[in-house]
A and B are shown apart, each in its own frame.
Chain A
Amino acid sequence: MTDPTTDATTDSMTDTEYQRQVDARARQLLEACFERGGHRSTWSFHAALACDGDAQELVALTGRHLEPGPFNIFPGIVLLHRWGERIPAEAAANIKQMFVGGWQQRGNTENHWLMYYVGNLLAAERWPQEKRFWNGLPTAAMQAEASRWILGMIARTATQGHYEYDSTGYHTEHFVPYLALAEHAGDRHMRHQATQMVQLLLADMALEYFHGAYAGGHGREGNVNTWTQVGPGQALNYLYFGDETFAPERHCQTYAMPAIAAAFRPPALLARMALDRATPHVVRKTKPPRAVYRHVQRPAEAVYKYTWMSRSFALGSTQTGLPGAPAAPIDLTSWDLTWRGPRHQAKICCNHPYRSPLRFSAFLPDLPQRVGRDVGTSKPFLQVPDRLFGASPYEQMLQHEGTIVVLYDIPEADEAPFVNCFLPKGSVWCEREGWLLSDLGDFYVGLRPIGPYCWEDIHEAGKDGNWIDGWLLRIHDVHAGFILEAVEGDAAGSFDQFCQARTTAHLDLTGWPRSRHVSVDSLAGVRLQIEFDGEHRIDGARIDYAAYPLLSAPGVEAPLGTGRASFRHNGDTLELDFDIDPTAPPLPMRVIG
């Protein structure tokens, strides 16, 4: 008899069979969460209720939120909707109190507002008879406000892309609220739009899914970007894609429990797309501009992502569209190479650890004189010189398939006139002609630092063992750069042949930095030419990033601005149509992230 949780998702698998697998994995996750005692929060109490735990434990859990923020507002009301009469009356009263007598905080990021408005919409629909809501207005007023914002953000996402995009930390906090709406909203149109959003967000994940990791650039990732599997999304990955060995300590993620306990089952084709790595392919995505408040002369431009999904590795990069210093989102991860392996052992990335107090006040309303200390005191890792994540206004890059060129033009007076490169300690490196090369088993990688570097190590203690552990190559040059090529072993021959080919292939650094130009050939003979602040060319042809669609990959069509997307795989089709009115003005953007 086969294990229903670990059966391979095959090309021929029916939706019925796929749903049986997801049912089994959901049950496995809920039971493991409960057995581990992970159910003791309003997010994860679904596990207790699904496993016949003591429902009375919820009374204490719901009695703590006198000034609830988005992470309190949302999960309580979802428990009520999902489990109804199973919720003890006193706990239900505590949850209701948040909505009729609390002091709710709306926060300032997209995931905050989504949880806030979804929570309030579901509460307003549940208690329409309440004369006044917590905010002193009639319940209907909150219902209308929440509906406007949610539907407005759905329209923005469907036409311009997801704002707080592809976040290993926060994608789940988008997926789960929309899923709650899809299952519990009273309004039929809201349920329909939310259901489509759930599928769109899952498709976003599926297109860059790589053995439990979310490959490619991330709008928000933070100080765990040397980890292979990161954040609450691990639970969704396992639940919906299921190609990993079950690891309760990673997969029983609190913030994903409402989805794990939900009835929703996606079409099998999204899982099949996620797992289909038979043919290396390019994924392109467009995301909206970053919401910069001030300190720059022009608004940010759209974000364009490019990810090469190969059989043994994924290489992703981002045209961040940032308008220059000091606009540099703190959590953004612009590029990395990821492959299958344990934490710290299967990532390569580099970063300029840009520092400036204005970097915070560009996205926050606080006084520039105070905000650096305010944020830095509570999050000191945002200021450390060894930092490997967070956007730099002085970084630009060009990628073609498994080859990437990353260049920096850092002002001489910058507080951090250098670039940090992370290499795993578990790989064996050799040096030839300025290239560092490694045989990573199924594939080879060659990287060429531009500028003098010194080989250091990096180890930062943190929760779950350690935040970071590996080699740190510090390139001491304001015009640092980094060229990397990853190639499947079967395409490159022996490792020696790879090394020979990579070190002798065309590389022209004579134009850097004086004429701001670098060119390099991939092993396949394709020429990448990048001019800093100028054009990007592949074999002489200029790349038109503005022509990127919302999403593109084999079997995926999603033109920008239409609100329509279609996904085809092995004869199955998923069509999304958000029925966007192209003449309607977009909802004003009022969140950061």
Chain B
Amino acid sequence: MTTTLDWGASWLVGARGLHYSAEGNNWQAAGDSNYPVYDLIRQKERILCATRWGLWQIDGDPPCWQQLHDETLTEVLAIAPVEAVTTGDPGVVAVSAYGLACGRRGEHGATLWQSHADGLSLNERFSSAVLSLPKDVGNWLVGTEDGVLMYRVAENRWQRSELTGKPCRALLYAHGWLWAGIDEGGVWRSADGLSWQRGGTGIDGDSIFALAATADGLLAGSLQGICVGDGQGRWHRSGPGLLVSAVAAHCDADGPWLAGATPGGLWRSDDAGSSWRQIGAFDTVRSILPPEETP
């Protein structure tokens, strides 16, 4: 059954192509694309979709895809919204195997991208996560193969944080803290993005690939499955043993949680992680967006 598409009210899943669902059970493809989708963000009246072949903007019903990348932006692993959209700004920054890139509108409606990787080592350039600093707009926290770095836009300058030496695969701002998921390093938290401390116990050596906020805690996607915690006390494991590459929780405290695996498909819990069931016909899921919080 085809439903009317409401981007804001829908669950969105990035897998082979972009998929949406009003209630998080029955899924429809947003267009015919089978591109491997790595990350999603929702902005006013549009979805931005980071894929292996580049960056796309999707809007309308039926969904209309428009290219936002150029010949210098590919293998886009994560994206983040630019809060203050300036004239000519595409409203998003992107990170990829080739580092952080910022765009500007060029001729014919195309977006041209400028890499900001000068002076970085290869491992510092390879970036899997990006986050706009909520209290420091215009500066970016970037999860690289060599840990967490900060990029100060106004100064065009990179700053290394305390959290270096291991790959950072996920970044999150929630419950007043910055959170980082580290490959073979567990979860860390920070107030400023530079100084970091352990975010909970029990998964110190785990590989963390995804982070999401629940109403009062956190979900972490790890090599061994889903972890549930509050970022201070002990994490506990939940659900099947999977490489969990995406997690998301509904904004309502009693709403569902979704987890995506690489491979293993999409899983849903309606009881705060006590039980999980596989939903949809997915193989690999790399990104999940819950419905927007309604005012």
Jot down 11 A-B pairs with beta carbons below 8 A, ordered by A: A103-B35, A108-B75, A136-B66, A136-B67, A137-B67, A140-B107, A141-B107, A294-B126, A295-B145, A369-B207, A588-B72
Q: Which of B66, B108, B121 has the most CB of A within 10 A?
A: B108
Contact mask for chain A residues 130-167; partner B; CB cutoff 8 A; 1 contact, 0 none:
00000111101100111011001000000000000000
Q: Is the CB of A297 within 8 A of B121?
A: yes
| A107 proximity list for chain B (CB < 8 A) | 53
Check A330 for interface membership: any CB of B closer than 8 A.
no
- Consensus secondary structure, chain B interface: loop
Check B115 for interface membership: any CB of A closer than 8 A.
yes
Q: Is the CB of B67 within 8 A of A135?
A: yes
Give the A-binding residues of B (Cβ under 8 A): 31-35, 38, 52-54, 57, 64-67, 70-75, 77, 96-98, 107-110, 115, 121-123, 125-126, 145, 169, 183, 207, 209, 223, 243, 245, 262-263
Q: What 12 new A-B contacts, CB under 8 Å, besides A144-B108, A148-B71, A297-B122?
A: A135-B66, A137-B67, A140-B108, A141-B107, A141-B109, A145-B70, A145-B71, A292-B122, A294-B125, A365-B97, A588-B98, A590-B98
Interface residue from A135, A144, A370, A590 paired with B107 (Cβ < 8 Å): A144
| Given A365-B52, A367-B245: A141 touches B110 (CB 8 Å cut-off) | yes
Interface residue from B34, B54, B75, B109 paired with A138 (Cβ < 8 Å): B109
CB contacts under 8 Å to B, within A349-370, are 365, 367-370
Contact mask for chain A residues 568-593; partner B; CB cutoff 8 A; 1 contact, 0 none:
00000000000000000001101000
- Bound together, the chains give a CA A367 to CA B64 distance in angstroms of 30
Q: Is the CB of B123 within 8 A of A294?
A: yes
Q: Is the CB of B108 within 8 A of A136?
A: no
| Given A136-B65, A138-B109, A365-B96: A149 touches B243 (CB 8 Å cut-off) | no
Number of interface residues, chain A, beta carbon within 8 A: 36
Q: How far is the CB of A234 from the nearest CB of chain B, in Å?
A: 31
Closest A residue to B144 by beta carbon equals: A294
Closest B residue to A143 by beta carbon equals: B108
| B74 proximity list for chain A (CB < 8 A) | 106, 108, 590
| A588 proximity list for chain B (CB < 8 A) | 72, 98, 115
Q: How far is the CB of A76 from the nearest CB of chain B, in Å?
A: 19
Q: Is the CB of A141 within 8 A of B98?
A: no
Closest A residue to B114 by beta carbon equals: A588
Q: Is the CB of A370 within 8 A of B262?
A: yes
- Bound together, the chains give a CA A141 to CA B262 distance in angstroms of 35
- Bound together, the chains give a CA A590 to CA B52 distance in angstroms of 12
- Bound together, the chains give a CA A18 to CA B250 distance in angstroms of 72
Q: Is the CB of B53 within 8 A of A106?
A: yes
Please list the 7 inter-chain residue pairs (A to B) with the smallest Cβ-Cβ separation, ordered nearest first: A136-B66, A141-B108, A135-B67, A149-B71, A141-B110, A294-B126, A294-B145
- Bound together, the chains give a CA A293 to CA B167 distance in angstroms of 13
| B67 proximity list for chain A (CB < 8 A) | 135-137
| Given A294-B122, A369-B223: A137 touches B108 (CB 8 Å cut-off) | yes
- Bound together, the chains give a CA A168 to CA B96 distance in angstroms of 30
Q: How far is the CB of A138 from the nearest CB of chain B, in Å?
A: 5
Q: Is the CB of B34 within 8 A of A103?
A: yes
| A135 proximity list for chain B (CB < 8 A) | 65-67
- Bound together, the chains give a CA A294 to CA B97 distance in angstroms of 8
- Bound together, the chains give a CA A367 to CA B125 distance in angstroms of 16
- Bound together, the chains give a CA A140 to CA B209 distance in angstroms of 39
Contact mask for chain A residues 78-122; partner B; CB cutoff 8 A; 1 contact, 0 none:
000000000000000000000000010111100000000100000
Closest A residue to B107 by beta carbon equals: A144
Q: How far is the CB of A105 from the nearest CB of chain B, in Å?
A: 6
| A587 proximity list for chain B (CB < 8 A) | 71-72
Closest B residue to A588 by beta carbon equals: B72
| A297 proximity list for chain B (CB < 8 A) | 121-123
| Given A144-B107, A367-B243, A369-B207: A103 touches B33 (CB 8 Å cut-off) | yes
- Bound together, the chains give a CA A584 to CA B190 distance in angstroms of 42
| A146 proximity list for chain B (CB < 8 A) | 71
Q: Is the CB of B243 within 8 A of A369?
A: yes
Check A296 for interface membership: any CB of B closer than 8 A.
yes
Check A489 for interface membership: any CB of B closer than 8 A.
no
Contact mask for chain A residues 362-381; partner B; CB cutoff 8 A; 1 contact, 0 none:
00010111100000000000
CB contacts under 8 Å to B, within A266-285, are none
Closest B residue to A140 by beta carbon equals: B108
| B54 proximity list for chain A (CB < 8 A) | 106
| Given A145-B70, A145-B110: A365 touches B33 (CB 8 Å cut-off) | no
| B223 proximity list for chain A (CB < 8 A) | 369
